[in-house]
Chain A
């Protein structure tokens, strides 16, 4: 059957020209479904230009000799993500109430909530894993000389992240509010107090008063789940940006390979 001429309708009412992936609109439903993912990504990318950033971040050149030690930073990040995710779900059951409620809520999570023991265990042991990985990552950076120009600022950011990780460990230790938590925090805060002149005031600031009390627990809870995670996430972004921007270093044992035009010709 021959195709009929198009009716003389005004331009604004005409159907839009076919998109490149649509091939005159004559696709079967299967083909249409297969292209849905591409269409969605295209829709987002057309409005955000994110694909360039993703390509810049994901498809970087890495030096020859890159090895498993270079995964320690990512491992640390995944330890942090584990802490973030398990922490959010622990917060759904935890109650920062020093007159017995905090301990009771942790006991409830551990003994009664479905998978509560597992999620709490992931958070508790994950914190130790994160501290260990932070130090291994730091050691890798140090021994490979990866802190040198132009990566000094990334080392500084990394040190800030190390301190924030320690703050997380310190504030998180109080939250179960059992005997160990109470006395460990007592000792920790008093160690802060041994700094001359400002030390005693720092202790008061940490405790929210002269004694460990109701303010201390909610204060540590707020620092642990609101203040420091935000700071860590922000600095982690900056840390990753600089890694992508500056690239990674070759291991120190990697021989420098001269460009072909600089090689001396062997006689």
Chain B
């Protein structure tokens, strides 16, 4: 067969024999040496991937882990007035002690102030201390009726709306509910949610991420903070 191949189609032929390759076999399109080299490379790739892929998955796995939904009791209903915030401590990350705690400002819903359409999911207003700018802890100043951030000067009003400084959106809030614990009505705090400048509810976002306009698409909520 090889001897019959003309010079013209020598390059075009897919058979190694036609291409006069050393050690060629009849009907063979890939030489044994080439096949062996390819096999060795493939084995190397498989061996490298067998530890690289699990390690990578291990490192980026937390991105896709969903947050469990929990309710945490913060105090009896009569502890919270409707015109001032009471700071309460909740556990954001269990198992690491003080570093996992977070401050939440809680007050009773006041129909005179909270004119926005709230549903039964928020009988109490629970506002996070996490600044919407870059996550520093804001402080509630009752005399000024402002939340003030120590890091970069973010200022929020009674409803957590931005009135000054760099924050791109209002302070985040938490779902609240009232449950009966041993005959006492207790306030419980649930998952966090974000609000836009009109205090409409959005799935939770991280600090620094605007929600108004295109921001809600540019900074999507993620499984790790969504219920």
Chain A contacts to B: CB under 8 angstroms: 98-100, 177, 182-183, 186-187, 189-191, 193-194, 196-197, 199-201, 203-205, 207-215
- A200: which of B99, B137, B222 is its contact (CB, 8 Å)? B222
Identify 30 residue pairs between A and B in the complex whose beta-carbon atoms are under 8 Å apart, listed by A's number: A98-B96, A98-B97, A98-B99, A99-B95, A99-B96, A99-B98, A183-B137, A183-B151, A187-B134, A190-B207, A190-B208, A191-B134, A191-B208, A194-B208, A199-B209, A200-B221, A204-B224, A205-B59, A205-B60, A207-B62, A208-B62, A209-B65, A209-B93, A210-B222, A210-B225, A211-B100, A213-B93, A213-B96, A213-B99, A215-B62
Expressed in whole angstroms, the Cα–Cα distance for A249 and B71 within the complex equals 66
Which 4 pairs from chain A and chain B are nearest by CB?
A: A99-B97, A213-B93, A196-B218, A194-B208
Residues on B with C-beta less than 8 A from A183 are 136-137, 151
- B208: which of A193, A207, A212 is its contact (CB, 8 Å)? A193
How far in angstroms is the closest Cβ of chain A from B169?
12
How far in angstroms is the closest Cβ of chain A from B69?
13
Residues on B with C-beta less than 8 A from A203 are 206
Expressed in whole angstroms, the Cα–Cα distance for A100 and B134 within the complex equals 24
- A210: which of B67, B96, B137, B208 is its contact (CB, 8 Å)? B67
A194 near B209: Cβ-Cβ < 8 Å: yes
With A204-B63, A205-B63, A209-B224: A99-B135 Cβ-Cβ less than 8 Å: no
A197 near B220: Cβ-Cβ < 8 Å: yes
B93 near A186: Cβ-Cβ < 8 Å: no
Chain B contacts to A: CB under 8 angstroms: 59-60, 62-63, 65, 67, 92-93, 95-100, 134-137, 151, 205-209, 218-222, 224-225
A204 near B222: Cβ-Cβ < 8 Å: yes
Q: Whose C-beta in chain B lies nearest to the C-beta of A97?
A: B96
With A187-B134, A193-B206: A214-B218 Cβ-Cβ less than 8 Å: no
How far in angstroms is the closest Cβ of chain A from B153?
13
Residues on A with C-beta less than 8 A from B59 are 205
With A193-B207, A194-B208, A200-B205: A212-B93 Cβ-Cβ less than 8 Å: yes
B136 near A187: Cβ-Cβ < 8 Å: yes
Main DSSP-derived SS at the B contact region: loop
Not counting A190-B208, A193-B207, A205-B63, a sample of 19 additional A-B residue pairs whose C-beta atoms are within 8 angstroms of each other reads A100-B98, A177-B99, A182-B99, A183-B136, A183-B151, A187-B134, A187-B135, A190-B134, A193-B209, A193-B219, A194-B208, A196-B218, A197-B218, A201-B222, A205-B59, A205-B60, A209-B224, A210-B224, A214-B93
Most buried by B among A191, A193, A197: A193
Main DSSP-derived SS at the A contact region: helix
Expressed in whole angstroms, the Cα–Cα distance for A260 and B46 within the complex equals 61
Expressed in whole angstroms, the Cα–Cα distance for A213 and B98 within the complex equals 10
Expressed in whole angstroms, the Cα–Cα distance for A184 and B96 within the complex equals 18
Residues on A with C-beta less than 8 A from B219 are 193, 196-197, 199-200
Residues on A with C-beta less than 8 A from B97 are 98-100
With A210-B224, A213-B96: A187-B151 Cβ-Cβ less than 8 Å: yes
Expressed in whole angstroms, the Cα–Cα distance for A190 and B96 within the complex equals 21
Expressed in whole angstroms, the Cα–Cα distance for A215 and B219 within the complex equals 24
Residues on A with C-beta less than 8 A from B218 are 196-197
Residues on B with C-beta less than 8 A from A190 are 134-135, 206-208
How far in angstroms is the closest Cβ of chain B from A228?
14
B62 near A205: Cβ-Cβ < 8 Å: yes
A186 near B136: Cβ-Cβ < 8 Å: yes
Residues on A with C-beta less than 8 A from B207 are 190, 193
Residues on B with C-beta less than 8 A from A208 are 62
Expressed in whole angstroms, the Cα–Cα distance for A215 and B94 within the complex equals 12
Expressed in whole angstroms, the Cα–Cα distance for A214 and B62 within the complex equals 12
